[in-house]
Amino acid sequence: MTRSQATRDRILESARCLFAQEGYDGTTLRAVAAHARANVALVIRYYRSKEALFLAASEFDLRLPDLGTAARDELGPRLAAHFFAVWEDGPAGRQLVSLLRAAATHPDARARMQAIFETQLRAAVRTLVPPDEGPDLRATLIASQMLGFAFVRYVLEFSAEGLDRSAAVRALGGTLQRYLTEPL
């Protein structure tokens, strides 16, 4: 790895960390540079702008499970369990929260969030649902539930006493199951 690539990678990792901690509005290029132990001019040279850096830091593979191998009556709970694993078990979840928060007010972040769900979730649902049963509508409904739940739980941080992870998987999983398998 070249020295410039190592610096570029450090900047990107620092950006992911700071955007996750401070959000889009709370993160500056200077803060990213300081965190990465790099000159701010290098941040600008490699990424051009805060928006471009944010988009680079917001590349996500949701690593959706192969739902084609799941029993039909377990599709929703399995998808919900995966959703919670992504959002709660690693750094990608904090980065997705940052992206979700930014998507409400920044067009580029909104476009990135739409692209993630378009290319990953919608594609997965299309493999499960025949074209005449509305796979795109079902994917949109699933995204509305998942993102709405994430917004309330991770951005607004509503109190959810009694709604531990297993209860949340059951509740959200039941709704996702209906969207995947029942008539609309």
> Does position 66 have pLDDT exceeding 90, yes or no?
no
Mean pLDDT, range 60-71, rounded to an integer: 87
> Does position 169 have pLDDT exceeding 80, yes or no?
yes
Mean pLDDT, range 167-179, rounded to an integer: 96
d(CA 7, CA 102): 26
> Do residues 96 and 150 make contact, with C-beta atoms less than 8 angstroms apart?
yes
Q: How confident is the model at residue 106 (pLDDT cuts 50, 70, 90)?
A: confident
Do 94 and 156 lie in one domain? The reply is yes
Tens-digit pLDDT profile for residues 116-154: 988 899 999 999 999 999 999 999 999 999 999 999 999
Mean pLDDT, range 94-110, rounded to an integer: 87
> Does position 1 have pLDDT exceeding 80, yes or no?
no
Give residue 168's pLDDT: 95
Q: Which residues contact 116 (CB under 8 A, 6 or more apart)?
A: 60, 62
Do 114 and 168 lie in one domain? The reply is yes
Which CATH number do you get for residue 15?
A: 1.10.10.60
Give residue 47's pLDDT: 95
Do 90 and 37 lie in one domain? The reply is no
Do 112 and 89 lie in one domain? The reply is yes
DSSP annotation of 182 reads S
Give residue 94's pLDDT: 82
Which CATH number do you get for residue 176?
A: 1.10.357
Q: How confident is the model at residue 101 (pLDDT cuts 50, 70, 90)?
A: confident
Q: What is the pTM of this model?
A: 0.84
Do 109 and 20 lie in one domain? The reply is no
Do 47 and 102 lie in one domain? The reply is no
Tens-digit pLDDT profile for residues 69-95: 889 999 999 999 999 999 999 878 888
**H-type helices in the chain, by residue range?**
3-26, 29-36, 40-47, 50-57, 75-88, 91-103, 107-116, 123-128, 135-150, 165-181
Do 75 and 139 lie in one domain? The reply is yes
Tens-digit pLDDT profile for residues 9-53: 999 999 988 988 888 889 999 999 999 999 999 999 999 999 899
Question: How large a percentage of the chain has pLDDT more than 70?
Answer: 99
- Whether residue 62 is contained in a domain is answered as no
> Do residues 33 and 11 make contact, with C-beta atoms less than 8 angstroms apart?
yes
Give residue 180's pLDDT: 96
- Whether residue 108 is contained in a domain is answered as yes
